[in-house]
Structure 1
């Protein structure tokens, strides 16, 4: 509630188990949707449909085990100035499945890096246009979403952004940090069992965990956004 103030953000909390949130300080203020056993994309496809997506500039997906160390409005300002379609803050503390998501010291003074891989969690933020672009490939029959993040950056860069942007669809912002508070990953066999739903996209769009360059030459944009957010 501190990071995402109600006067600037709309909140939808998806609850996939029997946990009781009635004593949460945001219980009367947020939209709460419960569906036992369902996960990210089942909720998103049903409750953030296309006509709602078009009403927003950005949509954040935020897992309950993520801890931000920055102001999301500051982050949005930087992303807007750099025209980033899909992004995530750099990961510092906590478990990390993909080393490329870890904060890269070579790019912290350049805001971050253009990449072809942004992990699906614990935090990802996309523009409305980016979510509209990948909308049709979101599969609701899987739970973890594993596999989508292996192809969505290249799909965005090849099909939804101007060619002259030269692969610049996704970014990791190393100047912004998120800590992952989970004690462990979901078992790998669960994710791997779901990978087949994206098989038809793998040949053309699979990530190579590449870096395409720095987001900026210095932190000027970062500082200017901090003054105006």
Structure 2
């Protein structure tokens, strides 16, 4: 299934698999908006795993079947392929381990801010994946889908809560697959002027910067809303015990 936020559905026609794919178009939306509406857990229940990926990912050396064999063997309910070191990397946990290996589940940082030690129990030190290339088991997706908010299109904050969907210990059931890795190109696709066509050259740079600032501002606001709703839900449910207090 291919989600189109720019309306350019025909632009994928040269790819041999395009005619076999389901194409869904809604201008200026994000994959989490699409996923909430078109990947209901009951509709995708025939699939063992859900790949919910961005489009700026190079997969030339990636083998999905090998990847899934590793995920099953390692018992990963939520995972992602490691990011090649040429990628735009935001968190070191998701970078491909330089020592090699098949999977890693944590990283260590003993200096500076945001330190991670061997006894760290939560994200982004362990039990965490980034949002550009997550892979969910059927059970994990049913849980994660319920966390996605209908009105919050950027899903900021969701990544730090996905460990609750790991069907057990997030430090064991969430991991990064090093032996099957991808390249994240980090191409900005939001905040391009709202899809209204090319701006005059003199205005293009300032308009794009303003639009991207607006996207980031809304993302931060959505993060605050998401966290507020989470805290309110926790306070209201007297029967729930937080496994990660």
Determine the C-alpha separation between the residues in 2 that align with 1:78 and 1:51: 25
How far 1:131 sits from its partner (Å)? 0.4
- Which of 44, 65, 69 pairs up with 1:77? 69
Map residues 137-156 of structure 1 onto 2, 5 A cutoff: 137-153=147-163, 155-156=164-165
Decide whether the 8 Å contact of 2:103 with 2:175 is kept in 1. Answer: no
Give 1:126 shift: 0.9
Q: How many Å separate the matches in 2 of 1:63 and 1:206? A: 29
Q: Is the radius of gyration larger for structure 1 or structure 2?
A: 2
Q: Highest relative contact order (Cα 8 Å, sep 6+), 1 or 2?
A: 1
Deviation at residue 40 of structure 1 after TM alignment: 1.5
For the pair 1:171 / 2:178, whether they are aligned, the reply is no
Cα RMSD for the two superposed structures:
2.6
User: 2: CA distance between counterparts of 1:166 and 1:125?
Assistant: 14
Aligned length: 188
Query: 1:37-69 deviations in whole A, cap 9, x for unaligned?
Result: 221222112211121232110010121100122
1:148 Cα deviation from its structure 2 partner: 0.6
SS in 1 for 2:19: coil
Counterpart residue number, 2:186: 182
1:49 aligns with 2:40: yes
Higher strand residue share: 1
**Matches of 1:189 and 1:206 in 2, distance apart?**
29
Q: Which runs of 5+ in 1 are unaligned?
A: 1-11, 208-229
Q: State the partner residue of 1:119.
A: 130
| Structure 2: distance between partners of 1:179 and 1:166 | 25
Question: Take 1:82 and 1:111, find their aligned partners in 2: how far apart are those partners?
Answer: 8
Q: Is the 8 A contact 2:50 2:136 kept in 1?
A: yes
1:82-115 Cα distance to aligned partner (Å, 9 max, x none)? 1100001111222122222111224x22532253
Equivalent-residue separation in structure 2 for 1:176 and 1:29 (angstroms): 25
Question: Which residue among 6, 11, 14 is the counterpart of 1:24?
Answer: 14
Superposition deviation, residue 177 in structure 1? 1.3
Shift of residue 32, structure 1, vs aligned partner: 0.5
What is the TM-score when the length of structure 1 is the normalising length? 0.72
In the alignment, the residues of structure 1 paired with residue 160 and residue 170 of structure 2 have an alpha-carbon distance, to the nearest angstrom, of 19
SS class of match (2:68): helix
Q: Does 1:94 align with 2:98?
A: no
Q: What SS does the corresponding residue of 1:168 show, helix, strand or coil?
A: helix
Structure 2 vs 1, CA of residues 98 and 166 (structure 1 numbering), >3 Å: closer, same or farther?
A: closer
Work out the CA distance in 2 between the residues paired with 1:145 and 1:75: 25
* Gapped regions of structure 2 (runs ≥ 5): 107-125, 191-211, 235-241
